[in-house]
A and B are shown apart, each in its own frame.
Chain A
Amino acid sequence: MQAQNSPVQVMGIDAGGTMTDTFFVRKDGRFVVGKAQSNPEDESLAIFNSSEDALAHWGRNVDQVYPELLTCVYSGTAMLNRVVQRRGMDVGLICNKGFEQVHSMGRAIQSYLGYALEDRIHLNTHRYDEPLVPLSRTRGVTERTDVQGTVVIPLREQEVRQATRELVDAGAKAIVICLLQSHKNGTNEKRTRDICRYELSKMGVDVPVFASVDYYPSRKESHRMNTTILEAYAAEPSRKTLQKVSDRFKKHGSKFDLRVMATHGGTISWKARELSRTIVSGPIGGVIGSKLLGEVLGYENIACSDIGGTSFDMALITKGNFSIISDPDMARLVLSLPLVAMDSVGAGAGSFVRIDPYSGGIKLGPDSAGYRVGTCWPESGLDTVSVSDCHVVLGYLNPENFLGGAIKLNVERARQHIKAQIADPLGLSIEDAAAGVIELLDLQLRDYLRANISAKGYSAADFVCFSYGGAGPVHTYGYTEGAGFKDVIVPAWAAGFSAFGCACADFEYRYDKSVDVAIPQNGSDVDKVTACRTIQTAWEELAAKVIEEFEINGFKRNEVILQPGFRMQYMGQLNDLEINSPITMAATAADWDRMVEAYEETYARVYASSARSPELGFSVTGAIMRGLVPVQKPTLPEDPEEGPTPPKDAFLGTRKFYRHKKWVDAKLWKMEALRPGNEITGPAIIESDATTFVVPEGFATYVDKHRLFHLKEVKQRPTHLREVK
């Protein structure tokens, strides 16, 4: 242990439904992880307990460390749970008259969102969730604005006053306003908001008002309405929780401003206007962490892969950027939020394995054993084989040291279940059946990764693959084998990588706005200049919102780095692409041409150049403004390299390990004891409490100075392993 007195700079919080994890990083890159039981009644207490647990590793406590911290990022599932369990605020909704049922009807797609492919076609499994706002707390006001922003029916203001009074009478604790096409012309919606506020003040009630134009002025009313409702329904209660957390930090001497991980990949203040975009953050953390690692290591194309118990999540960083989708779905609701684009397969380390009774084929998932591991854990009460069972019988996992020995696994029990349920029906030995399941899962994951890379117009050879998540390193070799990645990297802190990533995120606001600009292929310069003016106006409007947010946190305008972007499509198409703008100001015809050029280049990569259709002309559908202020990020650990031979105390013995139709003796290594520069050749298994890194025959790995493991396929003995750096 060196530099014991190195100050603690960064704190990350991952407040899950059952456990609250905290993650502290010192200036010298060393980190500790703490755990405590979550406390839905008072999250600040769980965070305090978790912090104490973590800091005890360094013999320190909260009162000593909180004042040292430069930055702290929160991510949690409380808001998501509030939505899923429908425990949010009693919201009232004002919409267009004649459209009162639109929200409770939901979009039909919401009756099968989140379903596996086979259930999506199986009609009788579909169901709607309860609407967030009941019909009894919804009122319509006469008004219509058309698709081009022209008012068709002027607002009948008296109806707003009446609706406001009725909603308060019906028990609304907040009022959401969302009128059709208000993203195009917000005048009537803003007027409705002002009248509603005035009426509330006249009534002397303290009911906050949320108008969709102030939050998510983007096309698609069901997305915009759901998101604005979430802002009132779920985000406001979260804001109160975060305030409490912030207050407790202050009580213990903290000087930092608490930030929250947001869907667009940056962090925002808990005071931010659009807090509902903090509804999910966990999986995004891994992507942000990968981006930071990539910057340090000099990789600009990264395939991020995260395997948990139930799913495989992947995201791509191309040219140093992740992509954003603007109308995602979460909690079975269509939303209008910028979300780091991630793809998920419903197959993970704990997925159940079954033989389909009709086709006789192997079926993985979509349900999973979750925390119950599999039939190998007798106390689980499970009798359906899981992927973990297969790993246990093949010697991948240590039955004595699962989760650091917290539970003991019974190999024979898993063997018998695999025999009866999988091996015998397929006419295979237990080992071959189990190995077949693993190969099949890994193949699915590999193809999925590759398909997503090729769908973006790239080849795997352009990418470095990062593998993390508690179960990731068990599968890493399997889903990268033969894929042709430039390098495959497993961080020693794979299990805590998402929390690490959250702590890496910049302080960043991002605002989006729909715009409609269309110019034919050979449009005139005059038209192009007009188009630029529209875009520039939108950028300026968004920039003002971004800066306003930073000013709440005490930053000045000139401290904020602004990055404009836009969404473009061929005229008439329905899908646009998000483009980081090659220009910072749009004014001239040449500016327009540069935007078009950037779009066409991306389009050709994504959909093949034969799909390009410049003859249709070009539309800009959205303006984007990102503003960021750099913050202190965790430093990577950096130790001198100590040569290829691992220290003796890292060697734990051997275990029988089955792959490619034979049993071999795999060497076991203790991950924490391996030193930078060490090389391990498979068959080997590198174990730590939280994760198991499998290096089968034909693979070798090398630990670099940042405690990142590089995995490489080798034909025989590795002689030039270092080249993988």
Chain B
Amino acid sequence: MKTDASTSKKTKAAEELVGGLLGNGQTLKQYRDAIQDRTKTTGFYNGLERLDLRESDPIRYEKLFSKLRGGLVHSRETAKKIAASPIVEQEGELCFTLYNAAGDCVLTSTGIIIHVGTMGAAIKYMIENDWESNPGINPGDMFTNNDCSIGNVHPCDIATIVPIFIQGKLVGWVGGVTHVIDTGSITPGSMSTGQVQRFGDGFMITCRKTGVNDKPLRDWLHESQRAVRTPKYWILDEKTRIAGCHMIRTLVEEVVAEEGLEAYEKFAFEVIEEGRRGLISRLKAMTIPGKYRKAAFVDVPYAHPDVQTPNAFAKIDTIMHQPVEIDIRKDGSWRLDFEGASRWGWHSYNAHQVAFTSGIWVMMTQTLVPTQRINDGAYYGTEFRLPKGTWMNPDDRRTGHAYAWHFLVSGWSAMWRALSHSYFSRGYLEEVNSGNANTSNWLQGGGINQDGEIHAVNSFEASSCGTGAGAIKDGLNHAAAIWNPEGDMGDIEIWEMAEPLVYLGRSAKCNSGGYGKYRGGTGFETLRMVWNAQDWTMFFMGNGYMNSDWGMMGGYPSATGYRFEAHNTGLKERITYGDTLPLGADTNPAEAGYENHINVRAKVKRDKQCMTTEDCYENYDLYLNYLRGGPGFGDPLEREPEAIARDLNNNLLLPEYARKVHGAVIEQDDKGVWSVDVKKTIANRAEHRKARLARALPTREWMKKERDRILIGRAITAVKQMYATSFALSPKFLGEFKTFWNLPEDWTLNEEDLDIPTYGSKYREDLSKLPDVHTVVLVEE
């Protein structure tokens, strides 16, 4: 009997396989290769020079669009309520995307749409590595992925991917992703520091089959929940993803039942070509052809004793560097070239090529293409060049990615500034954005929480940083993140449920917005006191020693970060005895105001070291969560006097800087209200301008001085290391550097001459070198 049953099962399976998953005899790889070929040869996605369905029946096409998109958005809204994590439920860090059978994105829900490409890359990986024969792709299967070596941004974005079968054939995929609160990495929180390789980044899942017949497998449930610190959040997040994917699968089944499979499949390709054309027409409408060049930098200060790494070779200060050249052509096509970017490093801030190219759309949809019609068409409309070996396209399978955002935010912000130059030139002043905040600090940590459970925390107040100033108005205060225009700091009473950290203040961060004619939006700050926790740890993340964005047309960068933490504060006694307490804003960090309201023997850390690793905190210890501001636009000497007075009266600007930077002559009345004397200010500003001229040098003279510094090597080691890694990867970049500074032919800068560890600078092994692994390359390298 047993044999019979298994034989008949085999026969049935064999019958089903006659036409393959696609019912046309092709493997998924053959199918995808053919699409790629047609796209490459014709320049149109899948060779679709004409959009038959759309041209012959535009109304039906729009109806299909409306049904699918409406359903995707709706499924996200419904599924999100299942989650327990404030990151998902309150911050909306989830997204559902529909793919065609080749893994190209058809449409996506609202949410963090960076995952349009990351989940697509996972599907493509399964296709390229013949998942259909082993482990098999069947109706009712679920696959889980968070592998950063094949496209995921960071391990805490967990994707559930479900194949959609209709009439016995695979017609597409639906993916759902949530940002989980803990990934079981070496330290608690979703985006940890300290580990410098993939092996400490946390639980890593490579397109694993984790469910059959619409049910998660038990081994997966057991293994995954004990692999992380917060199993309750984990399991509800998984239920959220599964519920949403299944709702969308049902939606597709309904649409096919109404419109027929043929129309659906046509639509699923035409809409991608339409997306490609949509991007091109936006570029034509909004920009001016030409080459735009920008650069971005961020600090990785790992030499500091408060950064504990497992490896001596990682204990160095480095800087990440990303030059970008955007070439917009007259036909609306464009190319983004990152030649000269620095090499990946021993930290957790590296990014996979897909994280970089897919993530770009979460930024572009806020400005260039603010439309619901976003899909992989935009990717096909863009030429990317990410040199292999750089931080955004590593050539070694050991790289850490847990906080890839550390530099992605600055890297994309540079592109937004480049586009803003184009908008400005074209006259779209209202679209100009002079840059973006470095979306930090990230308050993370863990231990035993107020309920006595093992816990991890990951505040998402960073979703509400200041935005860059525009060409006609100030940036918005504490409003958004470059990865989420729909930012929200959330309610204190909700965060206090999730974190054993009592708030002692929440205020807009004075002076954090970059100065300018229009200032950047200010960030904000919250002061937290550890409360009812045991064995508690926390750490800091963000830029500290360097600006990570620069402003435009004379506008200043936003303020950099700093950290404040205090231990042995004596607050318990001060509360009991009614002494003064540190409450509210750290208005002027230079005055160290909090220190006047805590124990004089308290151990305070107040410095620019904004990257730290897990450190211990006792109850009554303090932690300042400072969320950055945005950069400014235009000369601060042109700022309207009323705006200066308003900022002074709302505690958004320190009087000293109103005088120094804005050249304002200000006074305060007996009620403490500030005003600006307009006449005196005009005169004072004239003096400022004179002083500027007196200080100025002709560019050639200044360059000569700088050249001399280069020749004698007068720069800190971190700067030299940064350039050395770029030069090693790109002789072209080295050549340009030498030409620009008019350096001798034999001038060069080598990492090995710098007297710092150079581990990894010569010997590297790419993931593609592993046996039986076919990586998916989606950019020019």
Contact = CB atoms under 8 A, between A and B. Distances in A.
Given A107-B489, A152-B575, A608-B243, A358 B86 contact: no
Nearest to B371: A118
Contacts of A124: 366-367, 430-433, 470
Contact of A572 (B79, B236, B490, B508): B236
Interface in A99-120: 99-102, 104-105, 107-109, 111-112, 117-120
A427 to B, nearest CB: 7
Interface string A487-507: 000000000000000000000
B81 A575 contact: yes
A555 interface: no
Contacts of A448: 70
Contact of B246 (A102, A121, A608, A616): A608
Given A109-B486, A444-B70, A154 B584 contact: no
Given A146-B532, A221-B492, A444-B70, A121 B370 contact: yes
A97 B581 CA distance: 10
Interface in A75-126: 96-102, 104-105, 107-109, 111-112, 117-124, 126
Interface in B476-499: 476-480, 485-494, 496-497
B214 interface: yes
A74 B589 CA distance: 55
B450 interface: yes
A221 B71 contact: no
A627 B479 CA distance: 41
B767 to A, nearest CB: 33
Given A135-B650, A607-B82, A123 B488 contact: no
Interface in B43-96: 55, 58-59, 62-63, 65-67, 70-71, 73-74, 77-79, 81-86, 89-90
Interface stretch (B14-22, B168-176, B278-286, B312-320): B278-286
Contacts of B764: none
Interface in B277-310: 277-278, 281-282, 285
Contacts of B487: 108
Contacts of A122: 366-367, 370, 485
A361 interface: yes
Contacts of B504: 98, 144
Contacts of A361: 62, 65, 274, 373
Contacts of B503: 98-99, 144, 180
A4 B531 CA distance: 74
Interface stretch (A396-404, A435-443, A646-654, A716-724): A435-443
Contact of B491 (A107, A136, A571, A616): A107
Contacts of A156: 578
B645 interface: no
Given A146-B502, A219-B493, A451-B71, A123 B84 contact: no
A318 interface: no
A447 interface: yes
B232 interface: yes
B235 interface: yes
B527 interface: yes
A98 B584 CA distance: 3
Interface string A348-366: 0000000011111110000
B524 interface: yes
A428 interface: yes
Interface residues of A, number: 78
Given A428-B58, A572-B232, A443 B67 contact: yes
Nearest to B571: A153
A148 B502 CA distance: 11
Given A123-B366, A127-B476, A426 B90 contact: no
A142 B243 contact: no
Contacts of B588: none
Interface string A408-444: 0000000000000000001110001000100110011
B74 A455 contact: yes
Interface in B240-256: 240, 242-243, 246
Nearest to B73: A117
B27 interface: no
Nearest to A219: B493
- Contact count band on B: 35 or more
B433 A123 contact: yes
A607 B372 contact: no
B129 interface: no
Contact of A98 (B71, B74, B480, B527): B527
Contacts of A123: 366-367, 433, 467, 480, 485
Contacts of A109: 486, 488
Q: Which of A117, A356, A573, A575 is the most central at the interface, judged by chain B CB atoms within 10 Å of its CB?
A: A573
B497 A107 contact: no
A98 B494 contact: no
Contacts of B585: 98, 101
A181 interface: yes
Contacts of A208: none
Interface string B626-654: 00000000000000000000000111000
Specify which of B79, B274, B477 lies most central, judged by the most chain A CB atoms within 10 Å of its CB.
B477
A440 B62 contact: yes
A458 interface: no
Give the one of B70, B372, B583 with max A CB within 10 A.
Answer: B583
A611 interface: yes
Given A447-B66, A447-B67, A121 B583 contact: no
Contacts of A608: 243, 246
A432 B62 CA distance: 14
A544 interface: no
A423 to B, nearest CB: 11
Given A124-B433, A152-B502, A573-B83, A136 B494 contact: no
A147 B449 CA distance: 12
A220 B281 contact: no
B507 interface: yes
Nearest to A443: B63
B74 A142 contact: no
B102 to A, nearest CB: 22
Contacts of B479: 108, 111, 126, 128
Contacts of B531: 146, 152
A118 B527 CA distance: 35
Contacts of B673: 136
A153 B575 contact: yes
Given A101-B651, A610-B243, A108 B488 contact: yes
Given A126-B476, A451-B71, A451-B74, A436 B485 contact: no
A426 B532 CA distance: 65
A86 to B, nearest CB: 16
A146 to B, nearest CB: 6
B239 A613 contact: yes
Interface in A355-396: 356-362
A115 B443 CA distance: 30
Nearest to A616: B232
Contacts of A152: 502, 529, 531, 575
B486 A112 contact: yes
Given A152-B531, A451-B70, A117 B372 contact: yes
Contact of A357 (B232, B281, B369): B281
A178 to B, nearest CB: 11
Given A357-B281, A361-B373, A99 B505 contact: yes
A440 B494 contact: no
Contact of B493 (A108, A221, A451): A221
Nearest to B215: A610
A453 to B, nearest CB: 11
A611 B89 CA distance: 15
13 contacts: A96-B583, A98-B505, A101-B651, A111-B480, A123-B485, A124-B430, A135-B651, A146-B531, A152-B502, A219-B491, A219-B494, A221-B492, A361-B62
Shortest Cβ-Cβ A-B pairs, 8 listed: A98-B583, A98-B505, A98-B584, A122-B370, A436-B59, A575-B81, A108-B464, A574-B89
